[in-house]
Structure formats: C-alpha cells, structure tokens
Amino acid sequence: MKIISGGVCAAQGFTANGIHCGIRKNRVKRDLALIYSSVPASAAAVYTLNLVKGAPITVTKAHLLGGIAQAAICNSGNANTCNYNGIEIAEETCSILSAELGIPADNIIVASTGVIGELMDIAPFRSGIPSLVAGLSADGSDSAAEGIMTTDTVKKEIAIEFTLGGKTCRMGGIAKGSGMIHPNMATMLVFITTDAAISPAMLQKALSGDVKSTFNMLSVDGDTSTNDMVSVMANGLAGNEIITDEGEDFTAFMAALNTVTVNLCRMIAADGEGATKMLECIVSGAYDIDTARTVAKSVVCSSLVKAAMFGADANWGRILCAIGYSGADVDVSKVDVSFRSAGGMVTLCKNGSGVPFSEEEAKAVLLEKEIEVLVSIGDGDISAKAWGCDLTYDYVKINGDYRT
C-alpha cells in the first residue's frame, strides 16, 4: 500500500470538477463540486444522527437504497437545512445533473454545506451544472476539494494504491471540515472513490465499521453538524474478483479504507477553526475497546485540555479530570500520562500521581504543531486513538460572525 496523487480521481473511471456558480458571494471561491464515475458503482454512506438534518441527507438516503451511485454533487455556502423547499431543491439539483450526465437521478449523491436556515435558490445550480459537467477532468480532484470548502483553510485530499487478489486498486478521498465537528456516525462531508470491486452490502459494512475508529473519534468543538455524511463509490474497474463476503480481500479493503479515513481525520483535526495544533490522544492498557475510545474522545473534547495545548501549558491534571468524568470504568491509580511531539517526550503522571518533570522540556514538546497525548489506563491490551485540536481566540472570532 502506498500513497499516490490524484485524490478522488486516482481510481480508474473517476473524474471531478469544481466551479463557482453563484451560491457564495465571493466569486473567487468555488462553491459547487462534482465527482463522476464512468460506470455505475456500488455505493454506501453514513449520515449524521442529529435530529435536525439537511435536506440533501434525506434525498441521498432515498437514492442509495439500491446501493448504486454514479455521481456525487455538493455545494458550499448554504447547508440547505431547515428550508421549506429544501428537499425540492435537492431533488431538482439531481434532476438537472441527471439530464446533463445522462444517468438516473436516483444514482446521484447530493450534499450541501454552509449556513443553516438560509433560503436556497435553484438558479445557480441550473446555470452552473452544464459547465460543471463540461469541465469534468481526471485532474479535477483539487477543484472538487476546493468546491466543498467553507471555513476550511486548506484542501483535504488523499489517494492510495493497494492490491486485491493480485489486481492493483486505487482509492482516494476528499473532505471538508473545520468547525461544527463532533461526529456521531461520521463527519462533515467526505467523498471516497475506489476502482475496487465490492458489493454494496460489503461496502456498507466496511464503511460503517471503519467510522467507529476514525471519524467518530474526531472532535473540534463538540458540535455535531446537521449535514454530516461520508459516502463511498466503488466502480470495480480495477478488475479484482468482487468482494461479497468477509475474507482476505475484505480485510485488505478495510485496511485501505482505514488508511484513507485516518489521513482525512488528521487533516480535519489539524485544520480545526482557529487551530494552531493537531492533537492525537493515544489510549492504551484498556480491557475493552469502548473504554479506550471513551477515554480518548473525552480527552480531545475537553475545552480545558484544548486551551492548555494552545498555551503550551503542561497542565496534565486537566487530562486526569477528563478521564474521570468520561464515564469509563477506569482505575485512576493506574493512569500514566505523557506528551510526545517532534520536540521530544515528557512523562508527567505515573500511577495517577504527578512525577517531577522539566517545565522547559514540556513546553518544547507542546510548542510543536502535532502533539500526541499518551494515556495508559491499566494492564489491558486494547488501545484507541482520537483526534482534535487546540482551542484558540480565533475560534470565537470565526464563529462570532460566521453568518454575517
């Protein structure tokens, strides 16, 4: 398995594009993205569990009941959520795209991201989709990645090459996500493509299993979005024997998917609104996976921990505090805490009590851009990771006037 270029266009048969169609006021920012497979593909998705859902979620759920898709379209600048005509807009978007691509509207994944509760007009889609389709390119992943960005400061894309049954396969993904990130199934908007052959049922099984240890272990600010969705299209053009059951090939496919999703998780965490540092909490020594995940997520979600990381303050007591209220059954007398980064490693707590350490060495560790919070909670052999970022003044500035 190796990382390659190409994003969502790395896999055979996929093209993409991103344009400005007029949804966003800023004309230099792309606001409409499209990913297209030259042939129908197995498709799977996971969606937000927020009771308030964007209209595109409802439409996409209905479209993917058959497990097949051939295109994914996404706009930024307007979430199409809490609109009286939201479903009508999402369905009409698919209808317009259907006519341009010559594919069934039911084979289209539709997504939106941006401000919640703002009226949306179909006009930008009607005028923009023809040029969006005309510009589809095997080099279009960058444009598509830009088209789904809102407060993101960088594009997020990844592609890998791997082997299934002796056949070379590729998988790529793009994501958007910077704020309102505290997934309860998946996260923000993520689009993954692959030329591997896998049945819709097994693709759904792979995705639903993967998000438990990846996107569900990611938090920027504790807010679960109304529009969160992760979708995968697998068109089978790599020519491997189709995966219809668990086995060696399914395990290899899961490993590839996890490589893509973990990379995207780290990118999203690093680009949290106002963030200056990416945090990775690695919990070890647990007796079961739920305990490990609960502890790791509690640490990266703590506002006090996040603030301490911003200030490069080795206030490890805040980590113990987050573990204590996490709800996990942990013997605090067995907890060890260390920080690690490119600046070195420092141990601050052993068996639930503080140990002498150098404040200067600790600060050097915490001044780096990527910081690992290492937590051992016992003698078990189960571990888990969670990702987050520091909490800065800029987070409040960004969200204080996000709509206006």
**Distance (Å, rounded) from C-alpha 303 to C-alpha 63?**
39
Could you tell me what percentage of the chain is helix, strand and coil, using 3-state DSSP and rounding each to the nearest 5? 35, 30, 35
Residue whose structure tokens are 């042939």? 39
**Tokens describing residue 236:** 């089978």
* Residues in Cβ contact with 220 at an 8 Å cutoff, skipping those fewer than 6 apart: 177, 178, 179, 180, 181, 182, 268, 269, 272, 273, 275, 388, 389
C-alpha R_g of the chain: 22
Catalytic site residue 151? Answer: no
* Residues in Cβ contact with 271 at an 8 Å cutoff, skipping those fewer than 6 apart: 152, 153, 154, 156, 177, 178
| Cβ-based neighbour number of residue 174 at 10 Å | 32
Strands (E), 250-333: 278-286
327 SS3 class: coil
Provide the phi-psi class of 6: left if phi over 0, else alpha when psi is between -120 and 50, else beta: left
Catalytically annotated residue among 60, 187, 214, 294 = 187
Q: Which long-range contacts (C-beta less than 8 Å, at least 24 apart) are formed by 321-328?
A: 322/298, 323/295, 323/298, 323/299, 323/375, 323/377, 325/298, 326/294, 326/295, 326/297, 326/298, 327/294, 327/298, 328/290, 328/291, 328/294, 328/295, 328/298, 328/377
Active site residues: 187
